[in-house]
Homo-oligomer: A and B are copies of this chain.
Amino acid sequence: MSQKTEKLIDKKGLRIDGRKPDELRPIKIEVGVLSNADGSAYIEQGKNKILAAVYGPKELHPKHLALPDRMVLRCRYHMAPFSVQERKSPAPSRREIELSKVIREAIEPAVFVEYYPRTAVDIFIEVLQADGSTRCTSITAASLALADAGIPMRDLVAACSAGKVEDMIVLDLNDVEDKVGTADVPVAYMPNLGVITLLQMDGILTSEEFEKAVNLAIEGCMKIYAMQREALKAKYVSVKEVEE
């Protein structure tokens, strides 16, 4: 993260997009949006626009990759060429390969993988527009797509980032805050079980700041979790936090 001279927090303590430090961006969730996939979800979080689809459980080819006692969960995080400022080549980047791995590992703890031995479940995530913290928004969507597909799960996984922007710990970094801020802490959380399933950090934080950021991100996850559950019931939900 490189430091630049932009002013990210104004005199009132509000952020570049007018949010309070602990405020989420507006979120829209829709479940079951694709007719071909076994499960799907579409989410907008700020200007993030992300689709997740689930196919499976299904047979695995070649067969020697199948596991005798559990399903194989696979995940592909992919960005559309037009999702970012400079056109992205369609070939998967190193970043996309790493994120596919950590997202899969963030979701796998929630899935009863032993229910469908010898099968595969594929999670496909397409970032149509990227606006910071896409890995969190992707996990939130992927988790809903799995539930929509009827894959048995211990809990939904909700994900949200926190970070440090100009000496302030803030929730749910947008693109500018992610790039120009001091630190970024993406977290995925299973509220019912009280456990963290994704945790990364880059930047510089004291351990106190880190603890604060993780706890703030978990609070964000709790709010998102409520929306996820709402969306599963309603198949569609749109929330913008109002001034309290």
CB within 8 Å of B: which residues of A? Answer: 61-62, 64
CA distance A27 to B61 in the complex (A): 48
Q: Could you show 2 A-B contacts with beta carbons less than 8 Å apart?
A: A61-B64, A62-B62
Contacts of A61 in B (CB 8 A): 64
Contacts of A62 in B (CB 8 A): 62
Contacts of A64 in B (CB 8 A): 61
Least Cβ distance of A130 to chain B in Å?
27
CA distance A64 to B62 in the complex (A): 9
CA distance A188 to B37 in the complex (A): 38
Return the 2 tightest CB-CB contacts between A and B, nearest first.
Answer: A61-B64, A62-B62
CA distance A62 to B65 in the complex (A): 11
Least Cβ distance of A60 to chain B in Å?
12
Least CB separation from A61: chain B residue: B64
Least CB separation from A63: chain B residue: B64
CA distance A171 to B61 in the complex (A): 49
CA distance A61 to B63 in the complex (A): 12
CA distance A204 to B227 in the complex (A): 54
CA distance A64 to B59 in the complex (A): 13
CA distance A62 to B64 in the complex (A): 9
Least Cβ distance of A97 to chain B in Å?
15
CA distance A62 to B62 in the complex (A): 9
CA distance A224 to B61 in the complex (A): 45
CA distance A223 to B62 in the complex (A): 49
CA distance A64 to B60 in the complex (A): 12
Least Cβ distance of A152 to chain B in Å?
29
Least Cβ distance of A147 to chain B in Å?
32
CA distance A231 to B114 in the complex (A): 50
CA distance A132 to B241 in the complex (A): 64
CA distance A11 to B128 in the complex (A): 57
Least Cβ distance of A83 to chain B in Å?
23
Least Cβ distance of A51 to chain B in Å?
26
